[in-house]
C-alpha cells in the first residue's frame, strides 16, 4: 500500500519540475517562446552610457515584450570580452578603435556612429582645491587628480589633453594622478573626496548634485569622442535585438541622449 501512495506523488513532482524547467526557456532567435517567456537582449555598454541606456531600456521594455540586460564597464574590457566569445547582442563602444577591433574579428553584423560627448574638468561642489582651469591642477591645494585607465577611452582622451597642455609630466612627477578602471570610477573618486578633480565626460555630470564642471576642454585637444553602436553576430538571427538596435537610433532615443548630456552625432563638438 505504501508504494501505491508514493508513486503518484513522485510522478506529479517530476511533472511540475519539468514544467518549471520549460518555463525558463527563451527562444535563441529572440522571439517569445510558445509559453510566453520574454526574450532577453544583452547589451555590453561603455560605463559612461550606463544610466542613459538603462533609462532607454526601461522605456523600451514598456512598449515591447522583452527584457534588456545591460553589462556596463570599460570599453576596452568589454571589447575584449566580446572578442573572447562573451555572449552579447549589442555592443556600445565609447571608442572607434575598439569598435574597429571587434569588427576586425568578423563579429559585427551592423554598426552606426550613434552620438558624441565632451571632456570636462570636474571638482567637488565645495571645490576644496580651488580649481577653475587646467593649470590650477598644479596648485599645492590639489592632492589628487582622477583619470580613467590608460587603455580606457576617457583615460586616453585625458592623456591627450594633458600632453598638449604640458600638464602630464608635472602631474605625474608630483604623483597627483590616480587612475580608475573606467570613467565612472574616476568620477566616484571626486564624489567621495578621494580626489580634488577629475577629467570625465560632460554626460557624467548631468545628473550629479555633489560635483560641478568648471572647465570644458576644446575638442581639438583630443581625438573625436564618438560612440559606436554595434549589432553583433550571434548563432541565429535575433529579431528582438535588431529592433532594439533600431530603437536606439530613433528620434525618441536621441532626445534621451541629449537630456543625459551627450551630443547628437551631427552636432559639431
CATH of the domain at 149: 3.40.190.10
| 175 and 131 inside one domain | yes
Classify residue 9: in a domain, yes or no.
Answer: no
For position 18, what pLDDT does the model report? Answer: 37
Do 179 and 257 have their domain in common?
A: no
> Does residue 29 form part of some domain?
no
Report the alpha-carbon distance of residue 173 to residue 64 in Å, rounded.
Answer: 54
Reduced to 3 states (helix: H, G, I; strand: E, B; else coil), residue 89 is coil
Is 24 within the bounds of a domain? no
Are both 181 and 229 inside the same structural domain?
A: no
- Which stretches of the chain drop beneath a pLDDT of 70? 1-36, 235-237, 265-269
Residue 34 lies in a domain: no
What letter does residue 107 receive in the DSSP assignment? Answer: -
140 and 188 housed in the same domain: yes
Q: In what order do the strands lie in the sheet with 90-93?
A: 67-73, 40-46, 90-93, 226-232, 108-116, 263-264
Which residue stretches of 75-136 are H helix? Answer: 75-83, 96-104
Residues 111 and 141 in one domain: no
Within a domain: residue 91? yes
Pair 190, 102 in one domain: no
Confirm whether 250 is domain-assigned. yes
The tally of domains found in the chain comes to 2
Are both 157 and 217 inside the same structural domain? yes
How far apart (Å, rounded) are the C-alpha atoms in residues 112 and 151? 22
Separation of CA 49 from chain center: 4
pLDDT at 172: 95
Q: Do 216 and 257 share a domain, yes or no?
A: no
Domain that holds residue 88: 40-116+225-264
**Would 18 be classed as within a structural domain?**
no
- C-alpha–C-alpha distance, residues 256 and 248, integer Å: 10
- Residue 20 has a pLDDT of 41
Q: Which of 147, 152, 261 lies closest to 196 in space, CA to CA?
A: 147
Task: Quote the pLDDT of residue 266.
Answer: 55
> Residues 169, 247: one domain?
no
Residue at 208 is within a domain: yes
In angstroms, the Cα distances linking 167 to 45, 134, 136, 220 are 31, 8, 10, 16
Find out whether 216 and 99 touch, Cβ atoms under 8 Å.
Answer: no
If asked whether residues 163 and 210 sit together in one domain, one would say: yes
3-state secondary structure of 205: helix
Q: Name which of 29, 26, 28 is nearest 38 in CA terms.
A: 26
Tell me, yes or no, whether 183 and 240 share the same domain: no
- Helix crossing, 251-259 with 50-63: angle to 10°? 140
Same domain, 100 and 139: no
CB 177 within 8 A of CB 194: no
Amino acid at each position: 500500500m505504501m508504494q501505491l501512495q508514493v508513486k503518484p506523488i513522485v510522478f506529479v513532482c517530476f511533472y511540475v519540475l519539468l514544467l518549471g524547467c520549460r518555463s525558463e526557456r527563451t527562444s535563441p532567435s529572440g522571439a517569445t517562446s510558445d509559453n510566453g517567456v520574454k526574450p532577453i537582449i544583452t547589451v555590453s555598454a561603455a560605463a559612461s552610457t550606463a544610466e542613459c541606456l538603462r533609462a532607454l531600456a526601461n522605456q523600451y521594455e514598456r512598449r515591447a515584450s522583452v527584457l534588456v540586460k545591460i553589462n556596463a564597464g570599460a570599453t576596452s574590457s568589454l571589447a575584449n570580452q566580446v572578442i573572447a566569445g562573451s555572449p552579447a547582442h549589442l555592443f556600445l563602444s565609447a571608442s572607434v578603435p575598439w569598435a574597429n577591433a571587434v569588427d576586425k574579428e568578423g563579429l559585427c553584423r551592423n554598426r552606426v556612429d550613434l552620438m558624441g560627448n565632451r571632456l570636462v574638468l570636474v571638482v567637488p561642489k565645495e571645490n576644496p582645491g580651488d580649481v577653475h582651469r587646467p593649470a590650477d591642477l598644479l596648485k599645492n591645494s590639489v592632492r589628487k587628480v582622477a583619470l580613467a585607465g590608460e587603455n580606457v577611452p576617457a583615460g586616453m582622451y585625458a592623456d591627450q589633453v594633458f600632453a598638449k597642455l604640458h600638464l602630464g609630466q608635472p602631474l605625474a612627477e608630483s604623483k597627483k594622478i590616480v587612475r580608475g578602471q573606467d570613467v565612472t570610477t574616476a568620477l566616484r573618486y571626486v564624489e567621495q573626496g578621494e580626489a580634488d578633480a577629475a577629467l570625465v565626460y560632460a554626460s557624467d555630470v548631468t545628473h550629479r548634485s555633489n560635483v560641478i564642471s568648471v572647465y570644458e576642454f576644446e575638442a581639438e585637444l583630443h581625438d573625436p569622442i564618438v560612440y559606436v553602436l554595434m549589432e553583433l553576430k550571434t548563432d541565429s538571427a535575433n529579431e528582438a535585438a535588431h529592433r532594439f538596435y533600431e530603437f536606439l537610433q530613433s528620434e525618441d532615443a536621441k532626445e534621451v541622449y541629449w537630456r543625459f548630456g551627450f551630443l547628437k552625432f551631427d552636432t559639431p563638438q
